[in-house]
Structure 1
């Protein structure tokens, strides 16, 4: 209802109001003429009703005013105020008509000073963004298999326990190095920046986690520091920021290579899980076994083809024996032919002697001498041919690969099946095939020595 307050001197013409009408009229005047505003003060007499509504008094050194904040608005504040807290309340002025009490109906609340901090946050964010520190082109993906992971946080922070638990569960094989620094306080930002610089100077980790738990904007303010932001941007090590809860954003989140919603999520982004690596390793091992089997099958096929093209030592010895036998027959024939000719000549000579009556004794002695020379020449020829035959047989046996292997030697073949003749042909980690006098074996090269530079 709208009530006019026309004042006249005639008491009988004035409108007589009830108390309820008066309070309603005053309430309407307040709501229509006083805009939504921010009011700063100290919380006192705070009560949280079972319904979820907040009732409290907002005061300063000179005055106080009652305030109410209904459950639907209180749930969005993010903290529960305590008596003595300095807050800023966004409220409408109203009148509680049942008692005629003047009060504030709060629609929002923040800790005192939040507005100034937020303005500073926005100014620094705009400045760093204009310098390109937030650009996606300069962001780096964390290594899936880091040598070690560094954590910059407080030794007493719950975030450190969450990170260590997540890493122990996810990748227990990865070492973790903690670079301790306070996460809030007067000098916390400088000490955080110093520890980021220390981690880069040492170069002992591949991924750096910058983490802390949730809190108010004042609690997280160290991570909005310009010095820390520039140190993170200049880091040679990939930086993952996990500050606060999912709804919390700091300058460090924008500058870091990766922003994680929580410290635990930052740990999960820092490396691949051990179970995934084990599965990949198992798949790789199975693929290696299959590839090795294929290579062995192919090598055996090549060996069979090569064996079919080779002449066995037994066959070669048989052929050479046959040739030697042929030579022996030729030698015997060659011996018989001169002997026959000589006998004919002797016969002719004997006939001549008969006719000419030569000295038979001297002729006999000469014949016997020639026969002895002939026998000795034959013996020498047979001995020479026998020596050559023995030498040829020895060479055959010396060149027999099976005899060489039987004396303890082995044939070494590299990954391609080629015979290895020098250590310089090898590299550590290669798989070799060793052929012995009896059987074969596989060997892995661990170290190669004796190679001239």
Structure 2
């Protein structure tokens, strides 16, 4: 016996001569459905999706053989975090119910999640195993990164926050290093192919010493283009070493495994690609100091050997004194030039830093002006700006825009969008302006 049948039998059936109104009948059926069937998960595709002005979602859930109507109220939709795509496959947490005014069987959706995460994870593991067997993930295959790169390439979207993070870190830590951006989308169906094209472009142009492949965090689906097999092989075959900085620290993609270095975040990738300006200056100063110490030690050893030679000689003492004087003079000539070279290098580095900083400021000002012009153009082209002047947009129940009054049917229900708010109306007459 079904759950509904059990519940109905426990409550007791009405007498044969009991007469119910339609409202009473629907109310009893709705109560049986809601109490007899527990909340459960349903998987299917979305169709006939409508977002009402109230914030509720109305749609259908279907598979190959059946369809059921569904509603998700505003309080639930605000917690989803995304708008489902028509035709997309999702999993729904539902309560089975009946819409009493029309007697329609439906489900009330409490939560929704993307289906297929398990399939994606299995595909990820299969590709990782295959690349491991081919040796592309072997740590011994990874190439060393350049100690002091002069030019660094960044492969990412121009609109990505990751790009701003990388440029900010580079400008702060290493303004003397040139940065070249190879733009490509980092999400969507075409992203993997365009990321491959960006890597190919960097290889052909051969103008950078190191490549950063970066993107901010996201869901497994958002980061899926970085699990593409073609992209993984491009990274492994790149003539330029690649640092992968995709997602957050807990996110792992195939690109991370085949890259020469995996950074936990885009910011960390920028920090790992080179030493900071202070670190570089420290290394130069340390090298010069070590050179001076070595020279001083050699001179001291030469002086000791000279003293020993002098002690062993019976004559001529004058000649030994002359050698000592020449050695002292050489010692005095050697030290000042070394200090002078150190100061010259420091001045050169500081001058290069100032020039780089000034160039970055000019570039940011120029981009700011271009952004302001683009924002003005976008506001001017906003179709909803027209609505504030008294116009309105008419939508059919499927969300399409009505362009011709003769396309409407009587008594079709339409949604009217104003500058502020919505309204619903029924078509009672149509006419043409011609």
Distance 1:293 1:69, change over 3 A: farther
Contact 2:192 2:231 in 1 (8 A): yes
Contact 2:144 2:260 in 1 (8 A): yes
2:66 is aligned with 1:59:
no
Partner residue of 1:209? 212
Partner residue of 2:227? 224
2:35 is aligned with 1:28:
yes
Contact 1:240 1:257 in 2 (8 A): yes
Partner residue of 1:442? 334
**How far is the alpha carbon of 1:31 from its aligned partner?**
1.0
Distance 1:142 1:98, change over 3 A: farther
**How far is the alpha carbon of 1:39 from its aligned partner?**
3.4
**How far is the alpha carbon of 1:82 from its aligned partner?**
7.1
- Which structure 1 residue ranges, 5 or more long, are not aligned? 49-53, 317-399, 412-432, 447-453
Normalised TM-score (structure 1)? 0.54
Contact 1:208 1:240 in 2 (8 A): yes
What is the alpha-carbon root mean square deviation over aligned residues?
4.8
- Which structure 2 residue ranges, 5 or more long, are not aligned? 1-5, 19-23, 342-434
Distance 1:46 1:253, change over 3 A: farther
Contact 1:241 1:260 in 2 (8 A): yes
Which structure has the greater CA radius of gyration?
1
**How far is the alpha carbon of 1:292 from its aligned partner?**
4.0
Distance 1:237 1:88, change over 3 A: same
Partner residue of 2:197? 194
Give the SS at the match of 1:304.
helix
Give the SS at the match of 2:242.
strand
Deviates more, 1:227-236 or 1:197-206: 197-206
Give the SS at the match of 1:205.
coil
Distance 1:132 1:188, change over 3 A: same
2:90 to 88, 96, 100: 88
Deviations 1:256-284 (A, max 9, x none): 22233332222122123333343444444
Distance 1:250 1:271, change over 3 A: same
Partner residue of 1:103? 107
Partner residue of 1:159? 162
Once residues 137 and 232 of structure 1 are traced to their aligned partners in structure 2, the CA distance between those partners, rounded to angstroms, is 15
Distance 1:402 1:121, change over 3 A: closer
Once residues 144 and 299 of structure 1 are traced to their aligned partners in structure 2, the CA distance between those partners, rounded to angstroms, is 36
Contact 2:61 2:70 in 1 (8 A): no
Contact 1:46 1:83 in 2 (8 A): no
Contact 1:214 1:243 in 2 (8 A): yes
Give the SS at the match of 2:37.
helix
Contact 2:44 2:61 in 1 (8 A): no
Give the SS at the match of 1:298.
helix
Distance 1:194 1:114, change over 3 A: same
Give the SS at the match of 1:133.
coil
Normalised TM-score (structure 2)? 0.56
Partner residue of 1:131? 134
Task: Give the number of equivalent residue pairs.
Answer: 320
Deviations 1:358-412 (A, max 9, x none): xxxxxxxxxxxxxxxxxxxxxxxxxxxxxxxxxxxxxxxxxx6989x9xxxx96x
Once residues 85 and 228 of structure 2 are traced to their aligned partners in structure 1, the CA distance between those partners, rounded to angstroms, is 30
1:38 to 40, 43, 57: 43
